[in-house]
Structure 1
């Protein structure tokens, strides 16, 4: 897929974007097929419609994957993007065992679209899911975020809808937990089906519903939306699912966590019982099994596990993330590396332009930085690699494809200048450090709104990622002074040529205080080291995540995937009876909880799901931590853990629920 040196706001990222958007701001894409996952495809029983026993598959991705063909020296920027990359490790590919999209039974039109996007090798979840979905089986799949689930269900749906003929009633429905994800899946599906003329509608709250009415009235083939808005259209009669042939629940566990259980059941009941139903979830709690047993018919079961280390032991890698505006990112990186003092580091950039620009910045800061990208000749690449391996350079700033196969024994740091486009790419990158018992450090830079992307990585890898504040000017000054002190202390043990300088010191101390002489000498050493450049403070944008907060594999501390629709919550019926009353009818507060009073109630249309979603989203606490809820006509009472009360009061100040300003105070109980 062509990759240009576009600004960060336009850059493509698989955690959020998938294939790069080509249209307007109404849709963004997600879950691009990642050719870097050139993995041997898992086997699955060849069960056609006549085979009444659905296959079951569990696949653990291999630790190594076959490389894609190497790019030539004149490769375009597409060769340098994660989308066009193969695996980073060297290996032999005899072509005998590698499953490609062309082996999965997809139509020529879809294969042509995938080729245009630069995709050839399916990820494990795609290789496992596409054949049975094309054959019409129901499917229950467990796979982490970032494994390519969108293409796994979108490609079969696009293939099947083409044979259904045009109709005003949608052929397919995809339900997702957030409006961001609805946008992203819609754009990805649109690009996968570019050659098919498929009509796609994204339905979610927080936007004018009028254009959605018009779109549905004109007829669509595939609807992708959040449960609340889809149910709203069903109730209004603007959406008809009576002949919907395929329904997908993506991120089902997230939707259940957000209180959408009743909405999902109502939507599924509105579709024909003979429909094909697909359910994807990162986890498989009992409630997922419960909904699957009611709504799926003899499903194919697929589980894609996280890859494990080849020797069975995880590498020692400290993972951190720093958030800043794009305009400050180069300065932030320089300051972070000043604090880290890496022995040798690789900085991964998305485009050649980023590489060249960053090399200039880092060399200007006194680093010995080398570039490595597809626009360089092989001799230039070899020279850059040699300088890093020989210790002449401390930084190698590279694109993914150009850095394929790099192995540097003394590598201490890996830096993602942008969040990688796939979780697998992230894993491969950080796998270059922490080897042979050595501790490595993985640093990821992102923007102010990239908390969810970092959360996705943490969930996929199962390793915590600490979000740190970019070092301040004072932090940097203290670090620089420490380096100068250590250098001076080291010279005290070096007595060679001491007599040459002794006479100078003696002449200076004859007329000056020895302490003043020493201060002047240290200041001169500090100034000549180049560590006295004037620094500006970098704005702190990490306020939505406490300094040092770790994102673990369950996403704690983040809330749920993406920003939730304030006007598009689950029906929340499961929260209605959580309020506990004392015998006199007053509101009982559970031990360890605080009751907060909100100024909005039933008359404002507020539901429990609105309160849970808003608090979880604004305060970064999980919905299941919130206690009893009581909604009156003009107010609402919500119990939150006492340890979170202050944070909720601060974060909800000025927030809106159902487009109405919120005021919160501690309730008088």
Structure 2
């Protein structure tokens, strides 16, 4: 069958031995390094460990050979043959869409399986027969335990973004899933980093794996990214005002603003709309249809700002960005690098801006150390500077209009009527003033207080100004303390670690909740990695989780309406009862 498909001989994929029908579905000819190194080994059925980050082409690296083997297998049946585990529902949808595209010419069916939606459609699709399932660990384990996701016919398992899945608390889920799959399967593990816990999973579940390490491909000398990296130190209550001020000064042509929660994304979108921008929000609360609509508008230039949560923006390929803004300091240096890598491409200049509270400044220093790049600390623009910038923009806009000289008869008539009562120069000044104010009166603008030098020094070395790498105290491993029927006094007896705050979850051992459930829910909804959480205390009926104090309010907001173990959970700041 495959002999009837013609593929250009210039395609580098043809030399790798892939089915020509798959190659025909690709929109590029040259394999990336991870694809060149991985595909031949995977076509031979070998296990593989790939050290590769986002943007290296690893989705195609494992998808193409697996689809090839599945389509050309003499034993292809109706059961699910390939299981791909990914950390988030956004990534599940993205990987499933790519695999569906690659497999369509060969009749391969792919299904994305994730939480936050009903079981019915997913179970019915699995029952009808699906070749490839791309799933988050939590939902796939739920289906396995319910007997709705048979694993008898699995021939290959992929762990994609393995380090991130472990950061989100899915280690136990992954172990449980792998233990249920046939021993003779082919297994692939891809991770941006390879800490001991990832190595442990590889040694337990992979058989003599081929090991491949691939870095991002470097651009040509004349295409080195040129990114101006700056950070503004600001108190949290002034962040919204500061963001508007900074954007007015920078005047981005196209920008992504990263924030932590969907509530924050919606608030920023509303604020910036009032400021004269055309922003769009992108977060986990949107359906796939809404998400596609947002991205179409942004790519077409119908909006100049995309306000996105980190999880929702994962995997987006957006060209020609002028600015990336971190409304909060990323908790990991790798996340920071990935975000700013979206600007300054192909030799163009780009700007990466981070808004940091004094408590977050130690994270900036950590990012500088790990990336070996300087982030310039700059002050918030003053009202005087802002007015000057607006006048410069107004002058430029007026010059452009005057060069075009495209004025309607209605405008000329209006000017004629004004000339009867006012001097033409005064009319021009009034028009320029209206244009420069952008719908706001000057009295609305006030200088934003600067963070004192003393406060900056106290927050340079770590949380609470105590130095170190942000140790939170308490139970860093997340081991639960079972408090039984003795209620919260016992659970709350442990002092809260410095720089942390406790969050109350109205669910506990009675609902079979473990640390991984809480860590996974917080990571998925609020974007806070498991390593940034502190002690986790679980009783029969409730749980207490330590989160960084600076983001506690945002975590509570993000978790509203969240279901854990199928239950809608009451989430609030912890309040100890009076003794």
Shared fold per TM-score greater than 0.5: yes
Tell me how far 1:415 sits from its aligned partner.
Answer: 5.4
Superposition map of 1:601-640 within 5 A: 601-603=508-510, 606-617=513-524, 619-640=526-547
Q: Is the 8 A contact 1:473 1:535 kept in 2?
A: no
Q: Secondary structure at the match of 1:195?
A: helix
Structure 2 residue 129 is the aligned partner of structure 1 residue 219: yes
Tell me how far 1:111 sits from its aligned partner.
Answer: 1.6
Tell me how far 1:131 sits from its aligned partner.
Answer: 1.2
Q: Is the 8 A contact 2:343 2:351 kept in 1?
A: no
Structure 2 residue 60 is the aligned partner of structure 1 residue 151: yes
2:433, 2:20 → 1: CA distance?
A: 60
2:339, 2:562 → 1: CA distance?
A: 36
Distance 1:649 1:242, change over 3 A: closer
2:426, 2:350 → 1: CA distance?
A: 32
Give deviations 1:237-266, integer Å, cap 9, x for gaps.
222222311111100111111111121112
Q: Is the 8 A contact 2:55 2:216 kept in 1?
A: no
Give deviations 1:61-87, integer Å, cap 9, x for gaps.
xxxxxxxxxxxxxxxxxxxxxxxxxxx
Gaps of 5+ in 1: 1-94, 322-332, 350-364, 366-396, 398-413, 434-439, 445-457, 486-519, 538-546, 549-572
1:198, 1:213 → 2: CA distance?
A: 18
Distance 1:424 1:163, change over 3 A: farther
1:416, 1:263 → 2: CA distance?
A: 38
Distance 1:109 1:425, change over 3 A: farther
Structure 2 residue 438 is the aligned partner of structure 1 residue 535: yes
2:510, 2:39 → 1: CA distance?
A: 48
Query: Residue in 2 aligned with 1:256?
Result: 166
Bigger share in helix = 2
Q: Is the 8 A contact 1:227 1:263 kept in 2?
A: yes
Query: Residue in 2 aligned with 1:490?
Result: none
Tell me how far 1:193 sits from its aligned partner.
Answer: 1.1
RMSD, aligned CA: 5.2
Query: Residue in 2 aligned with 1:238?
Result: 148
Give deviations 1:241-296, integer Å, cap 9, x for gaps.
22311111100111111111121112112222221110100111111111111111
Query: Residue in 2 aligned with 1:111?
Result: 23
Q: Give the counterpart of 2:51 among 123, 131, 142.
A: 142
Q: Which has the higher contact order (CA 8 A, sep 6+)?
A: 1
Q: Give the counterpart of 1:126 among 24, 29, 35.
A: 35
Q: Is the 8 A contact 2:526 2:559 kept in 1?
A: yes
2:249, 2:439 → 1: CA distance?
A: 16
Gaps of 5+ in 2: 1-7, 232-242, 257-275, 277-300, 302-318, 325-337, 354-366, 396-422, 441-449, 452-475
2:122, 2:228 → 1: CA distance?
A: 46
Q: Is the 8 A contact 2:483 2:539 kept in 1?
A: no
2:94, 2:394 → 1: CA distance?
A: 50
Which entry has the higher C-alpha Rg, 1 or 2?
A: 1
Distance 1:443 1:526, change over 3 A: farther
Distance 1:622 1:530, change over 3 A: same
Query: Residue in 2 aligned with 1:589?
Result: 495
Distance 1:479 1:188, change over 3 A: same
Query: Residue in 2 aligned with 1:664?
Result: 573
Query: Residue in 2 aligned with 1:295?
Result: 205
Superposition map of 1:279-428 within 5 A: 279-307=189-217, 317-319=227-229, 339-340=249-250, 416=321
Q: How many residues are aligned here?
A: 409
1:121, 1:628 → 2: CA distance?
A: 48
2:90, 2:43 → 1: CA distance?
A: 27
Tell me how far 1:651 sits from its aligned partner.
Answer: 5.3
Tell me how far 1:647 sits from its aligned partner.
Answer: 4.8
Q: Secondary structure at the match of 2:84?
A: strand
Tell me how far 1:182 sits from its aligned partner.
Answer: 1.2
1:334, 1:598 → 2: CA distance?
A: 35
